[in-house]
Chain A
Amino acid sequence: MKKNTAYSPGIPRALPEATHCLHCGEELSLSNTVFSDGEYFCCTGCSTVYELLNTLGLGNFYKIKEEQNIGKTGRPIDPEAQEEYGYLDQDNFIDQYTSPEAPLKMNFYIEGIHCGACLWLIEKIPDYAPHIESVSLNMSTNVATVDFKDKKKFSSFPEIVKRFGYKAHPVKIDEEAQELKEKEKRKSLIRLSVAAVCAGNIMLLSAAIYSGAEGIFAKHFGLLNFLLSLPVVTYCAVPFYKSVISSLRAKRVTVDIPIVFVIVVGFFLSANNYLSGDDQVYFDSVTTFIFLLLASRYFLKSIQERVTKEEPASRSLFSQNRILIWDNRNKQFFFEPTQELRPGQKVKLKKGERIPVDGKLLSADAELNLSVLTGENIPQTVLKNDLIYAGSILESNEVIIEVTKTGKSTRIGKLLNEVEKNYKSKIRFSTYSDKFATIFTLMVGIIAIISFVTISTIISPSAALSRVMAFVLIACPCAFVFALPLSLGLSLRSAVEKGILIKSTGIFEKLPLITNVFFDKTGTLTKGVYKILSWDTEKLSEYDLAAILAIEKESNHPIARAIVSHLGDKDLRLPEVINFKHIYTKGIEARVNNHIYEFTSDKNIKSSNDINEIITTKIIINKDGEAISAIFLGDSLKEDAKFVINLLNEKGFKLHIVSGDNKNNVKQTALKLGIAERDIYWEQTPEEKAQIVKNAEHSMMIGDGLNDTSAFSSSDVGVSVQGSVEESLKVSDAYILNNNLFNIVDLLEHGDITKRSIKRNTFFSVAYNIIAGTLALFGYINPLAAAVLMPLSSLLLIGSTLYGQNNLNQRRQSTIL
């Protein structure tokens, strides 16, 4: 393949005529432009994919993008990555990812799908891949089902996909679970449709009765109503009966109890009245009620499902599916499924891999990023026979470790398990709607009994029965059966659109109470990336720079690596280094061309003037005993951190920082953000963090990783901003995508508005129930009035909910403008 790709210092010196990358739509600037085949791209990845697509005759990809007006789509995932898929053709993996019924079918989760053009590209693969029969991509789950022509060619699909700039992960076909879920969804759709057909027809027939149909018509229409309501009550409403039975078993009062009460009473009263020739029938109300309920729950559920869809399979902590295991018989390392790891086995790990087990290091030394456990991103050195914990990332080259613990018995596995357990017990049953339902049900019951006694003594028992029944039916718990799910569902959806994933809707009831907000530092307020912040290299001669680079190349300490990468783009000729030595806790020393260079760290750090930088390390370079330069290294604040903190301060929240980092670094951060010194906590272990958060009232914890999980579970609302979505959502209430801190302000606002909308709905509902209930008890409600009032009140509440949400959207727009 011809290659005339040149990096920016090469060809285009002026800005290209094209302003956006041809492949991904990224805006072009002088520093990132790649010129290839007469077109401009933002990176070599894009130009490589473009070339490949053109040689394969897939240039229509760009035409589709243009026609569908798809602009920016995100960069391709490194198409030339050294990702090996050969393991997929091994028997032990084939067994895992295919089913015996369909031995040539495999499912893949595909990362990087954005639009219709991507769909076209992926589904065109069978046209030129000899081993692939067909590909069908589901864009709502990003899972592709691939049929292969030959056995043991499963690796061919992910390899092609990789070259197109996507990433495919094989997905286990868990047919039972999948089918069960699908069946459940289809069932509820069928229930909804049956309810719709029956309720609609009953409405029509009832309209005729109310408008005065008499005699034979009334009788037959009534019969039809009765028959049509049977499937609704006996089939469509089954989920409510089931839920009531299980909640009674657990001795809990839920919203479903009054619902079932209304359904059962309404149906039997109507059936009884119909059979005895009375015209007090409520078939229309009961069936419409069930239909509206099913519809609002279906809506809520489909939104909740969309929330879980956002999970990219690759980011899960234990998602790595394969590992190199030493085979004693063949004296070689083989890929094996990670689940089959046993203690005592030897495994080989590569740079950048996440360690899936607890183990003992067998290689001489290794650099590990332990941020999962400590929250700090600076790698630490471990030596031979040291313990290594699952979840840490290998930062140095290949190592061999001996497995000691796997899966849930690893340190991180235990931690997660514990937190998850705590979390489950923490979920309180007394949410607002449940409380309301309990009070409501009790009130209706008490009033019904009192009224029955009074009316039967004043008028007659039969009049009392019919009036009390009408009252129970009219006193519909609309506020929390239609409006609440709708309101929560809409909030959930607009949160997802903003990049906030929410685990349970209970969070909306707790958010308005929040007064104390706790932030973790590293990775939450700061970027968590350790790099050189300032170093005046201009003052140094090229000769010295070359010597420094040569010396630092000898070491693989993170500081050394930061220096090497900082000097990486300079064209330096490296001199020879002799007498390189580490001086314990002091630094390094080496001799180059008769000069002695020393690198020592200086504890005397002044904070940086730049508003976003936090200096954590200062390195002094001495040449023959004389200081020639100073390097400042550290972390920097996220761009939006200061803005968000100011905004939250203005809104009157009390802000705190809890960090595992040292005093100086935490203080610097607090100073830059304007958080008072009495509100910051440093050098805290995960357990201490949890205690601090627990002691504060109405607390919200915002953190970035597993080291904050105990704090999440002891706060009222835990929000994670980074890491694996799946794992984070297990232990926190919300997850913020894209690492965007501004979403926290959004989240708090969402809680406010939702609460207000719920309050308004409750008010309407209570007012309606008092008025209509009184009228029913005094015998003024006839079937016509009931039929009009019930949908009317529901419509009122739904309208009020939509109004509240609309308000939210408008306010958001005005804040953006």
Chain B
Amino acid sequence: MNIIFLTLGVSIAIALIFLSAFIWATKKGQYDDLTTPSQRMLLDDYETTETKKDEKEEQVK
């Protein structure tokens, strides 16, 4: 039954790995804004319809 101590060690190590991953993500600011990224990922496929960039710049001016 001593194998239990090994599995216990492994399980706690895994828990610690996930915990440190979570802490890293939090510190990086991944949980600061939960609204925008979920919207943004839906939009990536849309590009502006192709006209020449210079032309657009002129129109803005």
Binding site for B on A (CB under 8 A): 55-60, 63-64, 68, 115-116, 119-120, 123-124, 127-130, 137-141, 160, 182, 185-186, 189-190, 193-194, 197, 200-201, 217, 220, 224
Contact = CB atoms under 8 A, between A and B. Distances in A.
Dominant secondary structure at the A interface? helix
Contacts of A189: 26, 31
7 contacts: A55-B59, A57-B49, A57-B51, A60-B48, A124-B48, A128-B56, A186-B29
Given A57-B50, A64-B46, A194-B19, A119 B39 contact: yes
Given A58-B48, A60-B46, A138-B33, A127 B56 contact: yes
A98 to B, nearest CB: 21
B60 interface: yes
Contacts of B43: 64, 116, 119-120
Interface string B33-57: 1111001101100111111010011
Classify chain B: how many residues form its interface, as a range.
Answer: 35 or more
Contacts of A185: 32
Given A129-B60, A201-B12, A201-B15, A116 B48 contact: no
Contact of A140 (B36, B42, B49): B36
A581 to B, nearest CB: 52
Contacts of B46: 60, 63-64, 120
B23 interface: yes
A57 B60 contact: no
A182 B53 contact: no
A56 B56 CA distance: 6
A153 to B, nearest CB: 12
A194 B26 CA distance: 12
Interface of B: 1, 4-5, 8, 11-12, 15-16, 18-19, 22-23, 26-27, 29, 31-36, 39-40, 42-43, 46-51, 53, 56-57, 59-60
Contact of A57 (B4, B15, B36, B56): B56
Nearest to A143: B33
B49 A60 contact: yes
A58 B43 CA distance: 13
B28 to A, nearest CB: 9
B31 A128 contact: no
B60 A224 contact: no
Contacts of A68: 42
B15 A116 contact: no
Contact of B36 (A137, A182, A194): A137
Nearest to A127: B48
A139 B36 contact: yes
A140 B33 contact: yes
Contacts of A220: 5
A186 B27 contact: yes
Nearest to B39: A116
Contacts of B26: 186, 189-190, 193
Task: Give 4 nearest A-B pairs by CB, closest first.
Answer: A128-B56, A57-B49, A116-B39, A140-B35
Contacts of A194: 19, 23
Contacts of A224: 8, 12
A659 to B, nearest CB: 42
Contacts of A139: 33, 35-36, 39
Contacts of A137: 36
Nearest to A159: B60
A137 B35 CA distance: 10
A182 B22 contact: no
Contact of B31 (A55, A56, A120, A186): A186
Contacts of B60: 56, 128-130, 160
Nearest to B9: A224
A128 B11 CA distance: 53
Which of A59, A193, A200 neighbours the largest number of chain B CB atoms within 10 Å of its CB? Answer: A193
A128 B36 contact: no
